[in-house]
């Protein structure tokens, strides 16, 4: 092709780099945002895959392994029964899930809110910020309160009066 004449100026090619639409900055922005969102969406993919695995293979029947704390002490840890609770939830059995592990069921909405906050922070983060830099960090007070609640839940499930909390 010989070239095009535009406004009386002869060009070698009808679309030279100066005539090309300016989409490159948008492409860069989308790709950088996409990279920042890989970690939260990757975690969501792992959680969905694990949930599907728990739905397909029933942890009530065994074969998922043994809790190391339970194997060493004979006492259930605070998350013992968590796999069974998730399995029960995937089958719509909320009461069964609560009886398997009340703590895990109570923490699922908290984990979902935390994940949404992380996703939003990654999407809104300035360029050059990695996903770990925008993780929503809990306050030290909240960390200690959570630690004490999990520990208390673990100890209370060992008591005969709270046998209904045992997995």
Q: Does the pTM exceed 0.75?
A: no
Residue 28 lies in a domain: yes
Instruction: Tally the domains of the chain.
Output: 1
Residue 131 lies in a domain: yes
Residue 105 lies in a domain: yes
Helices 82-90 and 102-124: angle between axes, nearest 10 degrees: 80
Residue 17 lies in a domain: no
Span 22-80, pLDDT tens digits: 555 555 555 666 778 888 999 999 999 999 999 999 888 877 778 899 899 999 999 99
Residue 85 lies in a domain: yes
Domain that holds residue 84: 23-65+80-138
Residue 156 lies in a domain: no
Q: Hey, how many other C-beta atoms are within 10 angstroms of the C-beta on 97?
A: 23
Residue 165 lies in a domain: no
């Amino acid at each position: 092709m010989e070239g095009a004449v535009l406004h009386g100026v002869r060009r070698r090619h009808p679309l030279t780099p100066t005539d090309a639409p300016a989409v490159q900055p948008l492409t860069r922005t989308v790709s950088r945002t996409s990279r920042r969102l890989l970690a939260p969406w990757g975690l969501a993919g792992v959680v969905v895959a694990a949930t599907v695995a728990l739905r397909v293979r029933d942890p009530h029947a065994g074969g998922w392994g043994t809790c190391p704390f339970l194997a060493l002490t004979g006492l259930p840890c605070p998350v013992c029964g968590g796999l069974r609770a998730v399995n029960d939830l995937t089958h719509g059995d909320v009461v069964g899930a609560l009886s398997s592990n009340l703590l895990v069921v109570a923490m699922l909405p908290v984990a979902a809110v935390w994940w949404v906050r992380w996703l939003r922070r990654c999407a809104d983060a300035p360029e050059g910020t990695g996903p770990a830099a925008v993780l929503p960090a809990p306050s030290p007070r909240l960390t200690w309160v959570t630690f004490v609640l999990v520990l208390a839940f673990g100890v209370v499930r060992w008591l005969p009066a709270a046998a209904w909390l045992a997995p």
